[in-house]
Amino acid sequence: MRRWAFSAIVLLALLSLAGCDGGRADSFIASSHCILNFYHLVDIPRPHEVLEQHRAFLEGREVRGRIYISHQGINAQCGGVTADAVAYVQWLAQEQSLFEGLRYKLYPADDHAFPRLRLKFRPNLISLAGGMTAAPVTDAQARATPLDPLAWKEMLAQAQSPSSGTKPVVLDVRNSYEWDAGHFEGAQRPLEDEFRETPTAASRTPLPHHLEGVDPATPIMMYCTGGIRCDVYSTHLRAQGYSNLYSLDGGIQSYLDAGVGEHWKGSLYVFDSRMAVPAPSPAATGEEGEAGLIAAAPCQVCGGAAVLPHMNCANIDCNKLFIACPACKTHLKGCCSEPCMTAPRLLRPIKDAGVYGSWTAYAGEDGVAAAAIRSGRGSRRAQRRAVRLAEERSRQRAKREEKMERRRLVEQVMAACAAKAPAEAEDPAWRRLREARLKLMAQRQDKLRGPAHAAAKEARGS
């Protein structure tokens, strides 16, 4: 028997929640469970003490999901029995002064959206190359300027207008597979499959591929699912010299919750049992009038119209996350390709109330599946990551080779001119030409090294 029964008291509490900018409160009338998302960037001097306070409050309550606390704040994707989740967020927002002004999102659910509770201290609230502990994420001035959904919509319209002047760069700071589910118009597909691969000062190149060569004065419109990745990553871009940064306040979730569907394609990938949620757009309405899970990218098998949610390949040695059309899903029997259909360790996906079951649930009567599971998960995920890193190294090597080739050609031309006409080398016009060429070479090198190097060079010169 549940510790808390869903009642009119809970509904009244939902209707009066301060700081809730998620789903409609009246949608909870028939919902015994809910999904709760929030983050709050604030300096926490003693995070382990705060962690134990949360642990004590959640003891005996049906709340599951991921709740991470660090010296720089809290980040949570959780949910559970509605009364318990609401009691937790009310305690946090109304009784804990450290989290004053906390904003959160609540959405109805049929059952638990997470298998267990993971409440822990993490030095980094999100995984980022080099970590985020040195980034000034708790300083609002160091982050991008937040835009509400309507302001974001207007700025996107300007970016798409052919008559506009300097066009903003729309930067998706999520993972590539999230872009496949849905994205804003004008945003290019990220090269990274995991956010920890997003370039930082600790990476081989400090900037995302889509910002390479972009003037630091260009407006950059950043967006992610809930907002935390933009708040964190914008501090890095500002340190690289980009000063005209904007982010979608509350992330894509707030944009779609506000009923603004313009300039959005597809559905939204989420990190809970739903895996994807529809956008409030007439284009996403199915035959029965219910929102359909349309993907922005085509089927990754045949190129046709794909439907969500994503699937993990049934070959556990592959486990690739992919999208496909209904025909390919049926034909390949849950695999991402025909070779995977004949793999020796092939398991069918099993879900319980929207949550993938433990591996023990896959074992069949013959024991073949159990033996396959005991032999390990395989190495395909590590192999895919190695391929991505090798491609990035190849791109950087090509840039270096191009730069060296330009330098070699310039030096050859200058040497030939000096050998052919040594008297001309002392001519004022020749000296001016040579200085202009050297200046051009230096500017190209500074551009390749990034805005931060140019700013440091200018500071040394002053």
> What is d(CA 88, CA 427) in angstroms, rounded to the nearest whole number?
79
**Residue 222: strand pairing partners:** 171, 247
pLDDT at 9: 46
Both tokens assigned to 199: 């370039």
Mean pLDDT, residues 24-51 taken together: 83
Say yes or no: 91 and 217 in one domain: no
Instruction: Kindly state whether residues 414 and 327 are assigned to the same domain.
Output: no
Helix (H) or strand (E) holding 413: helix 380-420
Domain co-membership, 110 together with 226: no
Q: Tell me, yes or no, whether 247 and 143 share the same domain.
A: yes
Residue 312 lies in a domain: yes
State the average pLDDT for the chain: 81
**Range from 110-114, 421-425, 450-454 carrying the lowest mean pLDDT:** 421-425
Instruction: Quote the pLDDT of residue 312.
Output: 85
Mean pLDDT confidence for 401-413: 77
**Residue from 20, 34, 224, 325 carrying the catalytic annotation:** 224
221 and 117 inside one domain = no
Cβ proximity of 65 and 113 under 8 Å = yes
Q: Band of the pLDDT at 25, cuts 50, 70, 90? A: very low
Pick the last residue of a domain from 121, 151, 174.
Answer: 121
* DSSP H stretches of helix in 168-274: 176-181, 228-239, 251-257
DSSP state of 346: B
Instruction: Confirm whether 78 is a catalytic residue.
Output: no
Does residue 389 sit within a domain? no
What per-residue confidence (pLDDT) applies to 424? 54
Give 244's contacts (C-beta < 8 A, 6+ positions apart): 216, 217, 218, 219, 220
**Which of the four pLDDT bands, split at 50, 70 and 90, describes residue 289?**
very low
Beta bridge partners, 33, equal: 81, 109
pLDDT for 246 equals 97
CA dist., res. 79 & res. 99, Å (int): 19
Q: Is the residue at 388 inside a domain?
A: no
The DSSP 8-state label assigned to residue 444 in this structure reads H
Kindly state the average pLDDT of the residues 165-180.
92
Q: Are 367 and 260 found together in one domain?
A: no
Q: What tens digit of pLDDT does each residue of 108-146 get?
A: 998 999 999 999 999 999 999 889 999 999 999 999 999
Find tokens 């310039």 and name the residue.
Answer: 410
C-alpha dist (Å) from residue 16 to 12, 41, 353: 6, 24, 30
Same domain, 29 and 117: yes
**Is 2 part of any domain?**
no
Confidence of residue 279 (pLDDT cuts 50, 70, 90): confident
Domain that holds residue 440: 399-461
Per-residue pLDDT reduced to its tens digit, 295-308:
999 999 999 999 99
Q: Which of 121, 136, 163 is the last residue in one of the domains?
A: 121
Task: Determine what percent of the chain is predicted with pLDDT higher than 70.
Answer: 75
Helix pair 428-449, 451-461: axis angle to 10 deg: 130
Task: Mark whether 33 and 101 lie in a shared domain.
Answer: yes
H runs (alpha helix) in 129-248: 149-160, 176-181, 228-239
Residues 291 and 158 in one domain: yes
Single pTM value for the model: 0.74
Give a yes or no: residue 394 inside a domain: no
Q: Both 144 and 282 in a single domain?
A: yes
Q: Express as a percent the part of the chain with pLDDT over 90.
A: 48
138 and 114 housed in the same domain:
no
* CATH code for the domain of 48: 3.30.70.100
Show the CA angle centred on residue 39, arms to residues 209 and 20, nearest 5°: 120
Same domain, 161 and 262: yes
How many domains, the chain?
Answer: 4
